Structure 1
Amino acid sequence: MRRIANYLVLNAYFVGLTTLSQTMTPLVLPLLVQRFAGEGAQGALYGNLRLWGLMTAVLVQPTAGMLSDRYRGRWGRRRPFILLGTLLDLGCIAFIGRIATMDGMHGYAWLMATFIALMVSSNIAHGPQQALIPDLVPQEERGMASGVKALLEVPLPLVLVAFTIGPMVGNGHLHAALLTLSLILVASMGVTLLTPEQRPSESMPFPWERLFRLAAMTTAFTISILGSGALIKTAIRIVPKIEFTHALWGFGLAGILAMGAAITVGVRLSIRAALGAEHSENNAFSWWVVNRLAFLTGATNMAGFALYFFQGRLGFPSEKAALPASRMLLVVGVCVLLTVLPAGRMADRWSSHRLMIFSGLLAASGSVVLLSSTVLWVIYLGAVLVGAATGIFYAANWAQGTRIVQPGEEGRYLGIANLAGAGAGAVGAYIGGPIADYFTQNYPEHPASGYVLLFGLFGSLFLLSILAALRVEVVRR
């Protein structure tokens, strides 16, 4: 029990980080974008917002992790960055409350700038936070530690959002929701700052070459997403309105090819740019990131587009869709809660690799159920399967990742892995958003079709995650 308590303290800050993302991504940002831009352009503008904010995170998180690897402060390597990032977060959250009173594209421009600033501040803390498990936990116990991390990172924040912040947003009390978010962020930070880090004795020079490589990595990944998104936008411009079924099949195929290319080719090229010669020595790491990005693109964007999905699929108006959306996230969170610790124990005793494959199959099955009906309880049943799969995946995938990173470079490697954490939202929103807008504008008699198609694309990415997992070598302990 003492060991579990230590893991709870070490990982507590993930409660705040995920509460932040689950408040902004599926609730606050979609509503503000819809208010500023209208339903006909909301998908593309939401995608732009997510792309540039999350590509900022892709650069900042590994940079902060690398800086913390070399920091020699009295408080340890990681905790000063966690404190600084949180304080900056609070300022950004407060300003988003001010932006909510604005109108039109003026408000959207301020939202874009503030969201990018929030991605800088939150990832100053997030990168170093991720390195605490490889810093302080023996390798043979990292499955359980990763299970505790996943418990605090997914289900508990989703429960908090569903019972507190979600209803506040749904009832029009945005400022109360942002205040609640700030309190949760500060409380979780305070617990993790109790982690007993030791002050490192040796000093290492700052590797400027690696910083330039991280910039090259971010540029390569951004170009891959922009290129895939440009192909979709070009197709939308040149293809006239066609028969509805043909449009579904055509843009469905184009969407999965574009997302698949951004995930596989984009990650492989980006990690090669970041690691240089190290890439060939640790090929398993890049396939692990591809597996993580494919799965999280599906799971993250189902949450990110849930509000628009419920508006179109079930006819909920505006803010009222926040209630079923937050309840679906609650269902996912409870299922993660029930599966993540057993999965962490299984990852220590048996094979995290096999669990990664199984989670992809289970999530794909849940996606089929979720899309099969307009009955709310059937949608929630699909969310049960996706949630259980997500809990298994979080524990197994992170345990696998902490075993294949290079010792002494944990902050840098796990920061590079944010290609998956941040890239998931960018890939799904930037490429998928314009597809949803195309159907909203051209087929108003099928108001839910664009977002139903998007959820189908996200579900297919769970299958892509399985193919990537097959390329990750099994780590023997």
Structure 2
Amino acid sequence: MTSSSGNPGGTTAITTAPPSHQTAPEAEAKTPRRLMASIAPATFSISLIWGAVPSILLALQVQQAFGEDAKVAVLALVSTFGAFAAMIAQPVAGALSDRTRSRFGKRAPWIVLGSLCGGLALIGLAFASNLVFLILAWVMVQISFNFAQAPLSAIMPDRVPRAVRGTFAAILGLGSMFGSLGGQILASSFSKNIPAAYLLLGGFAIIILTLFVVLNPDRSSTDTVVETFVVRSFAHTFWVSPVKHPDFFWAFTSRLLTYTGYFVVVGYKLYILQDYIGLGKDAIALIPVVGLVSLGGLLFSTLAAGKLSDHLGRRKPFVFVSGLVVATALFIPSVLPSVTGMLIMAGLAGFGFGCFQAVDAALISEVLPSDRSFAKDLGVVNMAVTLPQILAPAFAGLIVLTFGYALLFPVGAAISILGAISVIPVQSVK
């Protein structure tokens, strides 16, 4: 991906003011405790939606509206539209955030506005009565909450010193994974009242993200000088250039593949439990159990990995090993197609993915192409997080329709192995 700090097309770039962590070195000594404490709930509130809606609530809504025979194809179609919306929304939101001038700072207006629009979109999704409205509502949910998530992701490179980014990334990872797993548990609890779940998710996100902005005010950006926006330059950001930014390319690729492998299986677990394991309607009751088992593995690895990574000053070994652990876990149900196999997979995958999330965000923050466009670059990077979670049901649906459920597990494992290998070429981070 090329950086907007370049000068394509002969346009003269205007020098931006350096980020706050560069203009005030004395502020690097310690990340504000309030920021450390409140970033997890903020991340949790958005991840709760990604955990609850695509793989469970939306899957149930599709199943109820279109029947058993059409559910896989319809969910794949709806998910595909949502995935493309998410792919565009994150970098666009990041670029707008990087260039925003307001007395509330660059990030806050978009975080609040995105959550408000996302909450309204969830209400629309709750009452979508046909395929067209279902797609439109889900696309609006994707756009809105990605407009909140991209600026939120820029908080770490904006305001957190490198020495504690592993710890901060671990807190982010905990918020994200607790949200994802909590969303699955919440969704299963509201399986018979889907509209209420959508209302609860939207209202919670609005409250938590607004509180985050109020508790962590950013400095005014009204006097910030920003670069001239060049459409061609921005379009180039969708391409990760292995020549210009090789470390960024490989870190992005590692994240994309690891998340894809994980969510091809985990993001489709409702239908796996129903059809592959054979639980039928009883699958809903097992979702919270699977989530809690995964959470056990997640907690252990996330709490340890972030601090240990900071202490050792190393990121790559953690990312590499965690990718292999995830791959091993995802393969288990193919040889043990039972509830036991799913529970073993959940615990081991939670352990590996928790370690990955705890360290990968810190690694990414250290290979960004430009210090002038954190939110835009992270918006592009976050495509590697958002797309697998949203597109996984579509990709998994294609595999199931063509080859059956059994192939999901080796495919997910193989993709995760490639994700682990992809971090090896990163040179600027140990």
What TM-score do the two structures reach when normalised by structure 1?
Answer: 0.78
- Give how far 1:20 is off: 0.6
Matching of residue 204 in structure 1 with residue 226 in structure 2 = yes
For residues 47 and 190 of structure 1, what CA distance do their matches in structure 2 show?
Answer: 33
SS of residue matched to 2:240: helix
Work out which of the residue numbers 256, 274, 299 in structure 2 matches 1:337.
Answer: 299
Q: Does 1:271 align with 2:271?
A: no
Residues 336 and 387 of structure 1 are in contact (CA less than 8 Å); yes or no, is this contact kept in structure 2? yes
Question: Which of 138, 148, 154 is residue 131 of structure 1 equivalent to?
Answer: 154
- How far off is 1:161 after superposition? 4.1
Question: Which ranges of structure 2 fall in alignment gaps of 5 or more residues?
Answer: 1-29
- Aligned-partner SS, 2:101: coil
C-alpha deviation, 1:335, in angstroms:
2.1
Deviation string 1:380-413 (CA, Å, 9 cap, x unpaired) is 1221110010110011111100011121221111
Matches within 5 A, 1:67-466: 67-99=96-128, 102=129, 107-159=130-182, 161-162=184-185, 164-169=186-191, 172-193=192-213, 194-200=215-221, 201-209=223-231, 212-213=234-235, 217=238, 270-272=239-241, 280-318=243-281, 320-350=282-312, 351-405=314-368, 406-425=370-389, 428-439=392-403, 450-466=404-420
Cα deviation per residue 1:304-350 (whole Å; 9 max; x = unaligned)?
A: 210100011232334x4233234323322332222212111122122
Equivalent residues of 1:62, 1:414 under 8 A apart = yes
Distance (Å, rounded) in 1 between the aligned partners of 2:256 and 2:180: 21
Task: Give the letter for the 1:271 counterpart.
Answer: V
Structure 1 residue 96: Cα displacement:
1.5
Deviates more, 1:280-289 or 1:143-152: 280-289
What residue identity is the alignment partner of 1:198?
R
For residues 195-239 of structure 1, the C-alpha deviation after alignment (integer angstroms, 9 at most, x for no partner) is 13111332214413356516x83xxxxxxxxxxxxxxxxxxxxxx
Q: Is the 8 A contact 2:315 2:359 kept in 1?
A: yes
8 Å CA contact 2:262, 2:412 repeated in 1: yes
Which deviations, in whole Å up to 9, do the C-alpha atoms of 1:174-198 show, x marking residues without a partner?
1222232123212321331121311
Q: CA deviation at 1:160?
A: 5.5
Q: Which residue of 2 aligns with 1:224?
A: none
Give the whole-Å Cα distance in 2 for the aligned partners of 1:174 and 1:56: 23
Residue 197 of structure 2 aligns to which amino acid in structure 1? Answer: A
- 1-structure distance, mates of 2:34, 2:227: 35
**Structure 1 residues 134 and 71, CA, compared in 2 at 3 Å: closer, same or farther?**
same
Native 8 Å contact 1:41 1:437 kept in 2? no
| Matched residue, 1:226 | none
Q: CA deviation at 1:281?
A: 2.9
Residue identity matched to 1:108: L
CA distance in 1, matches of 2:37, 2:412: 31
TM-score under structure 2 normalisation?
Answer: 0.86
Q: Does 1:23 align with 2:52?
A: yes
Asked whether the equivalents of residues 329 and 349 of structure 2 are also in contact (C-alpha less than 8 Å), the reply is: yes
Report if the CA contact (8 A) 1:55-1:426 is conserved. Answer: no
Per-residue deviation at 1:296?
A: 0.4
* Residues 146, 309 of structure 1: alpha-carbon distance in 2 compared, 3 angstrom cutoff: same
Shift of 1:82: 0.5
Question: What is the RMSD computed on CA atoms of the aligned residues?
Answer: 2.2
Q: Greater share of helix residues, 1 or 2?
A: 1
Q: Deviations for 1:58-105, whole angstroms, at most 9, x for unmatched residues?
A: 111111111111212111111110100011011111111212xx3xxx
Letter aligned with residue 64 of structure 2: R
**Residue 69 of structure 1 contacts residue 412 of structure 1 at CA under 8 Å; is this kept in 2?**
yes
Q: Aligned residue for 1:63?
A: 92
Alpha-carbon deviation of 1:5?
4.3
Once residues 364 and 157 of structure 1 are traced to their aligned partners in structure 2, the CA distance between those partners, rounded to angstroms, is 19
How far has the Cα of 1:113 moved from its partner? 1.1
Q: Which amino acid aligns with 2:307?
A: R
* 8 Å contact from structure 1 (residues 76, 199) kept in 2: yes
1:474, CA displacement in angstroms?
A: 4.4
- Percent identical pairs in the alignment equals 24
Query: Partner letter of residue 120 of structure 2?
Result: G
Which whole-Å deviations, capped at 9, do the CAs of 1:427-447 have from their partners, x for residues lacking one?
5333331231235xxxxxxxx
The one-letter code matched in structure 2 to 1:294 is L
1:144·1:345 contact (CA, 8 Å) conserved in 2? yes
Counterparts of 1:165 and 1:309, CA distance in 2: 16
Q: Which moved more, 1:419-428 or 1:294-303?
A: 419-428
Q: Specify whether residues 4 and 166 from structure 1 end up closer, same or farther in structure 2 by C-alpha distance, changes over 3 A only.
A: farther
Seen in structure 2, the aligned counterparts of structure 1 residues 211 and 98 have a Cα distance that, compared at 3 Å, is farther
1-structure distance, mates of 2:162, 2:232: 26
Paired positions, count: 397
Residue aligned with 1:77, SS = coil
371 and 184 in structure 1: CA distance in 2 versus 1, 3 angstrom threshold: farther
Range that drifts further, 452-461 or 57-66: 452-461
**Which whole-Å CA distance do the structure 2 matches of 1:335 and 1:23 have between them?**
20
